[in-house]
């Protein structure tokens, strides 16, 4: 058997290690072969008697490897694992923040996430947009994590310039990347009042960050408090800074959204009665909330001659500024028709139908108008595609049976018989729009059943107060409250209690 010796030995283990450390090409360049195969370099000798001549073995020995690359350091693996962990944490926190749809939810999430990133237990956030724009409800808003209202009040008594939060809010030059106070009580020029509050609340260090976006500028600042002298590490500050920049952009969008909603609500309130009339024999109460996009639900109560009263509720199809403008025109027109012929609700709605068909043929609306004589406890009403009123008293809780009718704008000529009812002393007539039913998320049949159940459950002590009746029904029908941002429906309730 032919035995061919090699002139070079390849250190396989060293090569594999070098490949892992530097890459295949670099490893091959570092480990240089010391010779060539003799079979490749020696001349071929003639064969003798069919036997190949013996190939001599080289006497050269391979030079030892003087530089064998060592294995990659464990610190590199740890660093890569740390980067992956940090990016995963930051991604999860920003995803949770992006899932918030209201300003309160976003602020609470920001405080919690920031505390987790910098290793603090308590925090305080103040919204104070530099441009002064935004709903008045959020300007100067202070929100605490692990701090009660009384504790926040104590912090607010500290002079603003002596706190890290105040310096960040004032936009001082040295606060762009945050303010670290590792040992608050050891500060030589610490304000005495600040020292007193820190000792009372039990915090000894703080880390404050500005909240600013490219579009809106400075929005506010957040500060996290430590129970003992401490400061966040460089990596913690870096992650907190990245998160704060993303959070500021999200907050800027939510503030703009809140401002738009506040403007819509203000316009809607201006289009509705500023106050309810006082007529002997009847007491009124109204509750109204406009959806985030602005809707067309409305109500009205106007005094008529001879101490009579006109009550109306209605809804214009669509949402947004156009629906709100149409609602204002419709309400103003109904007031004019009610003054002229309010004793006949059918005539009032017929005139309104004609006006809507001639001026806005693409618009539909529902309306209910009631002519009330409180002294005689007499109510005559007519509805155009509207939900029926509900009568609540000591001995009954029932819907008024009104005639079926299409909404305004859907017929060439609208006319339906009116309905007359006589409320007993102490009874309340409840007018409302279908937004109250739709906000429940149930089918209309189930929503009507819930409304009836809510009205029947009004405590007896509250049944003589129309405001208490309306509030109880709203609490029962909408446990989440009227200000839910995920519902586009307007809500209107108009309660008339007859003495």
DSSP states of 313-335: EEEESS-SHHHHHHHHHHHHHHH
Integer Cα distance of 243 and 251 in angstroms: 12
Query: 453-461: long-range contacts at Cβ-Cβ below 8 A with a sequence spacing of 24 or more?
Result: 455/390, 455/392, 455/397, 455/430, 456/392, 456/397, 458/392, 460/394
Name residues whose C-beta falls within 8 Å of residue 229's C-beta, 6 or more positions apart in sequence: 182, 183, 184, 185, 186, 204, 205
CATH number at residue 152: 3.30.450.40
Q: What is the pLDDT of residue 249?
A: 93
Same domain, 294 and 342: yes
Distances from the Cα of 177 to the Cα of 91, 94, 145, 211, 245, angstroms: 21, 20, 22, 10, 11
Residue 185 lies in a domain: yes
Q: What is the pLDDT of residue 135?
A: 47
Q: Under the phi-then-psi rule, with left for phi > 0, alpha for psi from -120 to 50, and beta for the rest, what region is 377? A: left
Alpha helices in 320-465 (DSSP H): 321-341, 345-359, 435-438, 444-456
DSSP count for the chain of H helices, then E strands: 14, 15
Which helix (H) or strand (E) covers residue 498, if one does? strand 491-498
Nearest in space to 69 (alpha carbons), one of 7, 9, 23, 8:
23
From 247, 264, 281, the end of a domain falls on 264
Residue 93 lies in a domain: no
From 237, 264, 291, the end of a domain falls on 264
Name residues whose C-beta falls within 8 Å of residue 194's C-beta, 6 or more positions apart in sequence: 158, 159, 162, 163, 184
Residue 80 lies in a domain: no
Query: Which residues are bridge partners to 384 per DSSP?
Result: 367
Residue 476 lies in a domain: yes
Q: Is 396 exposed, middle or buried (0-12, 13-18, 19+ CB in 10 A)?
A: exposed
Residue 81 lies in a domain: no
Q: Which structure tokens are listed for 98?
A: 């992006």
Integer Cα distance of 224 and 237 in angstroms: 12
Residue 89 lies in a domain: no
Distances from the Cα of 239 to the Cα of 29, 88, 209, 227, 315, angstroms: 41, 11, 12, 21, 50
Same domain, 213 and 314: no
3-state helix, strand, coil in the chain (%, to 5): 40, 20, 40
Q: Is 228 exposed, middle or buried (0-12, 13-18, 19+ CB in 10 A)?
A: exposed
Distances from the Cα of 184 to the Cα of 144, 195, 230, angstroms: 19, 8, 10
Same domain, 36 and 52: yes
What domain range includes position 21?
Answer: 12-74
Q: Which structure tokens are listed for 13?
A: 């283990």
Same domain, 188 and 245: yes
Integer Cα distance of 492 and 288 in angstroms: 5
Same domain, 207 and 302: no
Same domain, 172 and 303: no
Which helix (H) or strand (E) covers residue 282, if one does? strand 282-289
Residue 138 lies in a domain: yes
Range list of β-strands (E), 182-279: 205-213, 217-226
Integer Cα distance of 246 and 98 in angstroms: 9
Q: What is the pLDDT of residue 197?
A: 93
For the beta carbon of residue 450, count every other beta carbon within 10 angstroms.
Answer: 17
Estimate the crossing angle of helix 444-456 against helix 466-477, to 10 degrees: 140
Q: Which structure tokens are listed for 302?
A: 């106007």
Residue 4 lies in a domain: no
Count of structural domains, the chain: 3
CATH number at residue 423: 3.60.40.10
Q: Are 144 and 122 in contact (CB under 8 A)?
A: yes
Same domain, 48 and 170: no
Q: Are 294 and 320 in contact (CB under 8 A)?
A: yes
Integer Cα distance of 499 and 496 in angstroms: 10
Same domain, 109 and 203: yes
Query: Which residues are bridge partners to 282 per DSSP?
Result: 279, 498
Distances from the Cα of 348 to the Cα of 344, 363, 374, angstroms: 7, 18, 20
Same domain, 331 and 472: yes
Integer Cα distance of 416 and 150 in angstroms: 60
Same domain, 358 and 491: yes
The dihedrals phi and psi of 412, each to the nearest 5 degrees, come to -65, -35
The dihedrals phi and psi of 424, each to the nearest 5 degrees, come to -75, 160
Q: What is the pLDDT of residue 284?
A: 96
From 225, 247, 264, the end of a domain falls on 264
Same domain, 53 and 118: no
Q: Are 55 and 42 in contact (CB under 8 A)?
A: yes
Alpha-carbon dihedral sign for residues 264, 270, 275, 279: negative
Same domain, 44 and 118: no
Estimate the crossing angle of helix 321-341 against helix 234-271, to 10 degrees: 20
Q: What is the pLDDT along the chain (499 residues), one digit of tens a residue?
A: 334 343 333 343 443 344 444 443 343 334 344 443 343 344 444 443 343 444 444 445 555 555 555 555 676 777 788 788 888 888 999 999 999 988 889 999 999 999 999 999 999 998 888 766 554 444 445 678 888 889 988 898 999 888 999 899 888 887 888 999 999 999 888 999 999 999 999 999 999 999 988 877 889 999 999 999 999 999 999 999 999 999 999 999 998 888 887 787 788 778 888 899 999 999 999 998 877 677 789 999 999 998 999 999 999 988 778 888 888 899 999 999 999 988 999 999 989 988 888 888 888 899 999 999 999 999 999 998 899 999 999 989 999 988 778 888 776 666 678 899 999 999 999 999 998 998 888 999 999 999 999 999 999 999 999 999 999 999 999 876 665 545 678 899 999 999 9
Q: In what order do the strands lie in the sheet with 378-384?
A: 297-304, 308-316, 365-373, 378-384, 419-421
Distances from the Cα of 310 to the Cα of 371, 380, 428, angstroms: 5, 10, 15
């Amino acid at each position: 058997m032919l035995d061919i010796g090699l002139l070079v030995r390849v250190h396989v283990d060293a090569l594999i290690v070098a490949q892992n450390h530097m890459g295949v090409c670099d490893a091959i360049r570092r480990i240089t072969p010391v010779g060539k195969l003799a079979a490749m370099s020696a001349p071929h000798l003639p064969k003798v008697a069919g036997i190949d001549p013996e190939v001599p073995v080289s006497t050269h020995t391979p030079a030892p490897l003087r530089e064998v690359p060592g294995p990659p350091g464990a610190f590199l693996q740890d660093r890569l694992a740390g980067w992956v962990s940090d990016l995963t944490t930051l991604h999860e926190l920003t995803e949770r923040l992006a899932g918030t749809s209201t300003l309160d939810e976003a602020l609470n999430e920001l405080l919690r996430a920031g505390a987790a990133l910098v290793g603090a237990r308590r925090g305080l956030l103040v919204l104070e947009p530099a441009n002064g724009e935004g709903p008045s409800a959020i300007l100067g808003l202070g929100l605490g994590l692990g701090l009660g209202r009384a504790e926040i009040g104590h912090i607010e008594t500290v002079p603003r310039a002596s706190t890290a939060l105040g310096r960040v809010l004032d936009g001082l030059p040295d606060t762009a990347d945050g303010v670290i106070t590792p040992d608050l009580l050891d500060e030589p020029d610490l304000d005495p009042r600040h020292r007193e509050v820190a000792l009372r609340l039990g915090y000894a260090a703080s880390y404050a960050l500005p909240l600013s976006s490219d579009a809106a500028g400075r929005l506010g600042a957040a500060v996290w408090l430590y129970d003992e002298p401490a400061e966040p590490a460089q990596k913690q500050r870096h992650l907190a800074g990245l998160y704060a920049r993303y959070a500021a952009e999200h907050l800027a969008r939510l503030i703009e959204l809140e401002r738009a909603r506040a403007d819509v609500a203000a316009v809607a309130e201006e289009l509705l009665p500023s106050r309810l009339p006082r007529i002997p024999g009847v007491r009124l109460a109204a509750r109204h909330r406009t959806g985030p996009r602005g809707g067309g639900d409305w109500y009205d109560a106007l005094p008529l001659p001879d101490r009579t009263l006109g009550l109306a509720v209605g809804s214009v199809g669509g949402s947004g500024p156009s629906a709100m403008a149409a609602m204002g025109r419709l309400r103003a027109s109904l007031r004019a028709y009610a003054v002229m012929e309010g004793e006949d609700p059918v005539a009032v709605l017929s005139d309104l139908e004609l006006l809507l068909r001639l001026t806005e043929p693409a618009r539909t609306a529902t309306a209910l108008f009631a002519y009330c004589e409180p002294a005689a406890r007499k109510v005559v009403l007519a509805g155009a595609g509207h939900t029926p009123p509900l009568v609540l008293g000591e001995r009954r809780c029932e819907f008024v049976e009104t005639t079926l009718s299409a909404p305004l704008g859907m017929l060439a000529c609208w006319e339906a018989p009116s309905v007359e009812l006589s409320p007993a002393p102490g009874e309340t007539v409840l007018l409302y729009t279908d937004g109250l039913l739709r906000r429940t998320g149930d089918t209309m049949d189930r929503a009507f059943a819930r409304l009836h159940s809510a009205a029947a459950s009004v405590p007896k002590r509250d049944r003589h107060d129309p405001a208490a009746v309306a509030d109880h029904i709203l609490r029962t029908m909408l446990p989440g409250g009227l200000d839910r941002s995920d519902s586009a429906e307007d809500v209107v309730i108009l309660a008339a209690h007859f003495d």
